[in-house]
A and B are shown apart, each in its own frame.
Chain A
Amino acid sequence: MGRLTRTHVIEAVIFLLVVVIFYAFSFEFNQPIEIYRFGATAWPRVVIGLLLIATLGNIWFQYKNGSAAQGTIGQSDDEADFSEPGTILRMFAVLLTPFLFAWLLKPVGIYFSAPFFIAAIIWLFGERRWKAILVMTFVIYVLFIGLFLVILNAPLPQGNTSPFYDFSAWVLTMNAKLQGL
């Protein structure tokens, strides 16, 4: 195994999977283009081929040098420390919460879901004083509404299920009344 670690192997497997999947799917659009000799597959397949070479080179480098850096410019120093199970759990929640929020945008709308999302993120970032969470949630929500609804009238997702849709409609009506003053 040389200086390869489990993380290196997982990383290599993921990239090789990407190569295999994209190569396999390239047969779905393998049609000639009358005006272009190389067709629609040539460019993606060259990229896939180069990615395969770079992935193999990366494995070779990690086999010889482990996680050593090569001193490229502006290299990332974002090193993870997942020794604590609590850290893993919290990161999992941090990664999942925005997805849940995005998924709720269609049925619930942004006007109703935003305050809960804001409060959840503040909490997940380690704030435990409930007064601070409430005040900052309110401030951020007001900023968001003020900028995008009151000033810019931006069309945002309103939700499509009751009572969330009704709530969005109420917010928009209030804004229209405010504009009319």
Chain B
Amino acid sequence: MIENFLAGTSALFGDPFTIGIFVFGVIGGMLFGAIPGVSMLTLAAILLPFTAGLEPAQGVMLFAVIYCTGTYGGAITAILFNIPGAPENAPTAFDGYPMTQKGQSGKAVGAAVLCSAIGGVASALVMMAATEPLANWAIRNIGPPEIFALVFFGLAVASSVGARTIWKGWMSVLIGLLIATIGQDPVGGINRYNFGLTDLAAGIAFVPAILGFFAVSEIFVQAEKKASGKYKAPKVSMSFPSFLELWMHKIAVLRSIVVGFFCGILPGIGATLAAFMSYGEAVRWSKNQEEFGKGKLEGVISAETANNAATGAAMIPLLALGLPGGALTAMMVAVFQMHDLQPGPLVFMMSPDLIWIVFAAMFYANLSILIIGLVETKTILNLLKIPFQFLAPLILILATVGAYISRGLVLDVMVMFLAGIIGYLLRRSGFSIPGIVLGLILGKIGEQNFAQGLQMVHYDLGTYFSRPICAVLIFAGVLTLATSIYRAFTTTQKSV
């Protein structure tokens, strides 16, 4: 492994043009992740046609680097403006944004930098050491029933965060699941809920919906606060977390790496569910559960470690099996195909150089998060000093481009603003936007795997419980739901 890694490193840093692409990917991913309104997906969508002119290793490496640094970059907007750069950064905002409001933005961003780097580097190391055995293990032990069970568990966790009441948490997730049913059904390809519009046959595109629900709705919320005179400018702070503070959370970091890696390795699940589940587990194991959501450092640490730990793991099903785990890894498949390559077991035999350049690049990209992140954090925190009336149009114009660019449809811009209005009204009524988005993302995956799982076990649901991983995940989901049902009927905290 070490020899291969060194060979990958020398190939990466031996050619000035490849170094240039690596640096562009690191800075571009971080920048597009950290600019509110656009995301790493926007950059990836713009760059995709240009990768045809690159060497295959350079093209795939560029996307892998953007994936690592973009996942971290999205935490900055989540912490500073309550606008997650990507869905996987949504749980970061639960505690990151309250920390900003309390004048602890430096501490939250500093923790995000360090934990993203730790999660990413750990994941890259495991990926380098064990891609093939882990992929083989996943083939043998993970099937549609397990993926459905994990989706079920993840949605059960998501329904208990972010909403004013537990009932509204469930309604949020179910609304997301309902939106996900728009478009062709994943089993028979039958059109559902397209209301006569051909553009809806492909379903609601994720990028505009996510931009609308997160970025545009937040702009509307801030506009309302401005209009009613309740707007308070966030406080800027430059104090980083101390070593002792971070050391106190070592268990949370380790747990988040495991959760992130496990979720990342499963095709289609990826970093979003990893972040939600890691956050949920942090709450479950905490002695001070009531402090979560009010600016607790452990919330930021758990979400950010897990989502970056999932990036390396997500490369395992992609490279070893040819199965993309999310939108960005799906674009990587397109890069492979542009160069007449097919990701899968053959790539390891036919193009080991490509694999090890990508592995080395991901390792160094995660290290760069630490170095560049710590240097640039103080500059980024100054974004808070820009008056919101000037930041809002910038975010909206960038979001417009972000929504339009992926499919070149003005309809997607309309969908984004509609999602923004719906998101704003639902937030005002105490619903959970992250819950809706997670339901939207996991809805089709859940349905597809449920159907495939049933076909696989000849419609015998009992078989689900004879598969250990599936049984454990379903049990954990049921336990989470049962606790939440009990609380729904018994808990009332405060009148609003």
Question: Shortest distance in angstroms between B356's beta carbon and chain A's nearest beta carbon?
Answer: 30
- The answer to whether B161 and A106 have CB atoms under 8 Å apart is no
Tell me whether A47 and B181 are in contact in the complex, defined as CB-CB below 8 angstroms, given that A40-B192, A69-B430, A121-B393 are known contacts: yes
- The answer to whether A40 and B188 have CB atoms under 8 Å apart is yes
Interface size on B, residues (CB 8 A): 90
Residues of chain B within 8 A of A22, CB atoms compared: 178, 193
Size class of the contact patch on chain A: 35 or more
Interface centre among A37, A95, A103, by most chain B C-beta atoms within 10 angstroms, is: A95
The one of B94, B226, B494 that contacts A69, using a Cβ cutoff of 8 Å: B494
- The answer to whether B178 and A48 have CB atoms under 8 Å apart is yes
Tell me whether A44 and B178 are in contact in the complex, defined as CB-CB below 8 angstroms, given that A69-B496, A76-B430, A122-B389 are known contacts: yes
Q: Mark A48-84, 1 if CB is under 8 A from B, else 0.
A: 1011001101100100011111111111101111101
Q: Mark A33-53, 1 if CB is under 8 A from B, else 0.
A: 111111110011001101100
Which residues of chain B in 49-103 are interfacial with respect to chain A, using CB atoms and an 8 Å cutoff?
A: 91, 93-95
- The answer to whether A74 and B428 have CB atoms under 8 Å apart is no
Q: Residue on B with the closest CB to A106? A: B410
Residues of chain A within 8 A of B188, CB atoms compared: 31, 33-36, 39-40
Q: Give the complex CA separation of A68 and B421 in angstroms.
A: 24
Residues of chain B within 8 A of A112, CB atoms compared: none
Chain B contact surface mostly: helix
Tell me whether A91 and B227 are in contact in the complex, defined as CB-CB below 8 angstroms, given that A11-B429, A74-B293, A102-B413 are known contacts: yes
Q: Residue on B with the closest CB to A47? A: B177
Tell me whether A54 and B170 are in contact in the complex, defined as CB-CB below 8 angstroms, given that A68-B493, A71-B494 are known contacts: yes
Q: Mark B185-205, 1 if CB is under 8 A from A, else 0.
A: 101101111010000000000
- The answer to whether A35 and B455 have CB atoms under 8 Å apart is yes
Chain A contact surface mostly: helix
Residues of chain B within 8 A of A34, CB atoms compared: 188
Tell me whether A72 and B162 are in contact in the complex, defined as CB-CB below 8 angstroms, given that A11-B429, A95-B220, A121-B396 are known contacts: yes
Which residues of B are in contact with A by a Cβ distance under 8 Å? 46, 91, 93-95, 160-171, 174-175, 177-178, 181, 185, 187-188, 190-193, 195, 216, 220-221, 223-224, 226-228, 230, 283, 289-290, 292-293, 299, 387-390, 392-394, 396-398, 400-401, 404-405, 408, 410, 413-414, 416-418, 420-421, 424, 427-432, 434, 447, 450-451, 454-455, 459, 487-488, 491-496
A-B contact pairs, 10 of them (CB 8 A): A54-B171, A58-B168, A68-B493, A74-B434, A75-B293, A75-B430, A78-B428, A95-B220, A95-B421, A137-B393
